[in-house]
Amino acid sequence: MQGSGNDFIILNQINDNYNLTPDTIKILSNRHYGIGFDQLLIIENTTNKQADFKYRIYNVDGSEVEQCGNGARCFFQYIKHYGLSNKDLIIAETKTRLIELQYNSQNQISVDMGQPIFDESAIPFFPKNEEDYFFRIKNQKIKTNALSMGNPHAVFCLKNLQVLTVQEIKDSAKAIQRSPLFPKSVNVGFMEIINKNKIRLKVYERGSGQTKACGSGACAAAVISIQNNWISSPVSVEMDGGILTIEWDNKGHVILSGPAQIVFEGEFDLESIHQDDKL
């Protein structure tokens, strides 16, 4: 499946547990020797009485993460397409919170991503002084805007996003992700304000690298921009894979809306998957 160019494998584990190991996930994620994806999504039964399903997310390096907005829309579309629920509103349990999903009036999928978290210890982000808020990006010191959308984000506002090359994005993001200030690493967003209701964004995700879109990253960038009065809600977030819409009233829950599409379905034999020396 894909949501704004962010691509996923979806596995239904409601009746079966495939016990995928991190090594198996790495093989499946490889675009040359496996299937290829930005993230692997798993649908499971939940023990949470408030939720309808459990929604688990794995990066290409095999690590499990807390949140993925684009993946959440694909998760919802999968449930509706295969008739796993006839409810209009689906509540999903993620690693860190409950999220609500439904179709909106434009027939796109809206995800209630919950409230942003600014408590630095909860992100986690541990600056010791004012200097720790600044990172060097293309020979400039740019201030970090850190928050959690159920997963950690560091957002950097640039005057012109186009001046950053792919390699510069990678090098800058890797340095930030390795910083001890972010002990659980961080998703790094580079944004540019286009007008009062639109921003442009590129995200380098921890465990996956640069992706064509990042739903939680779009939420993080929009929240930071609204909080600083740079733009107003609703916000169009333009990424390489498409445009997402974010709504936030500066105090409540963040609503993410956008498309999701099933690209193809198939089967693979777990027993035939072996670690290749080239991986």
Summarize pLDDT for 188-210 with one digit per residue, the tens: 999 999 999 999 999 999 988 99
Query: Among 264, 225, 259, which Cα is nearest to 241's?
Result: 259
Q: Within this chain, do residues 65 and 167 fall inside the same structural domain, yes or no? A: no
d(CA 149, CA 217): 8
Strands (E), the chain: 2-3, 6-12, 39-44, 53-59, 64-65, 90-93, 98-103, 109-112, 134-137, 140-143, 145-148, 152-157, 187-195, 198-205, 209-211, 235-239, 242-247, 255-258
pLDDT digits (tens, 9 = 90+) for 226-261: 999 999 999 999 999 999 999 999 989 999 999 999
Average model confidence (pLDDT) across the chain = 93
Q: Within this chain, do residues 9 and 81 fall inside the same structural domain, yes or no? A: yes
DSSP assignment string, 239-265:
ETTEEEEEE--SSS--EEEE--B----
Query: Is 50 domain-assigned?
Result: yes
Q: Within this chain, do residues 140 and 40 fall inside the same structural domain, yes or no? A: no
With bands split at pLDDT 50, 70 and 90, how would you rate the model's confidence at 274? low
Helix, strand and coil percent figures for the chain, each rounded to 5:
20, 35, 45
Q: Within this chain, do residues 152 and 206 fall inside the same structural domain, yes or no? A: yes
Query: Is 278 domain-assigned?
Result: no
Q: From the candidates 74, 157, 214, 219, which is the catalytic residue?
A: 214
Q: Within this chain, do residues 59 and 145 fall inside the same structural domain, yes or no? A: no
Beta strand pairing status for 53-59 and 64-65?
antiparallel
Q: Which domain holds residue 84?
A: 2-115+261-272
Q: Within this chain, do residues 23 and 82 fall inside the same structural domain, yes or no? A: yes
Q: Within this chain, do residues 177 and 97 fall inside the same structural domain, yes or no? A: no
What's the chain's Rg over C-alpha atoms?
A: 18
Per the annotation, the verdict on 68 as an active-site residue is: yes
Question: Residue 14 belongs to a domain with what CATH number?
Answer: 3.10.310.10
Q: Within this chain, do residues 183 and 84 fall inside the same structural domain, yes or no? A: no
Average pLDDT for 51-59 = 95
d(CA 9, CA 14): 16
Q: Within this chain, do residues 93 and 152 fall inside the same structural domain, yes or no? A: no
Q: Within this chain, do residues 21 and 75 fall inside the same structural domain, yes or no? A: yes
Lookup result for tokens 């600014």? 118
d(CA 42, CA 37): 13
Q: Within this chain, do residues 31 and 92 fall inside the same structural domain, yes or no? A: yes
What is each CA distance from 95 to 58, 65, 243, in whole angstroms?
11, 7, 26
d(CA 97, CA 5): 25
The predicted model scores a pTM of 0.87
Q: Within this chain, do residues 143 and 204 fall inside the same structural domain, yes or no? A: yes
Specify the length of the chain in residues: 279
Query: Is 121 domain-assigned?
Result: no
What's the domain count of the chain?
2
d(CA 224, CA 85): 35
Per the annotation, the verdict on 219 as an active-site residue is: no
Q: From the candidates 68, 74, 157, 219, which is the catalytic residue?
A: 68
Query: Is 201 domain-assigned?
Result: yes
Query: Among 192, 258, 245, 250, which Cα is nearest to 223's?
Result: 250
Beta strand pairing status for 242-247 and 255-258?
antiparallel
d(CA 169, CA 156): 11
Query: Is 92 domain-assigned?
Result: yes
Query: Is 152 domain-assigned?
Result: yes
pLDDT digits (tens, 9 = 90+) for 6-50: 999 999 999 999 999 999 999 999 999 889 999 999 999 999 999
Query: Is 120 domain-assigned?
Result: no
Query: Is 136 domain-assigned?
Result: yes
Higher pLDDT, residue 223 or 251: 223
Report the percent of the chain where pLDDT is more than 70. Answer: 98
With bands split at pLDDT 50, 70 and 90, how would you rate the model's confidence at 278? very low
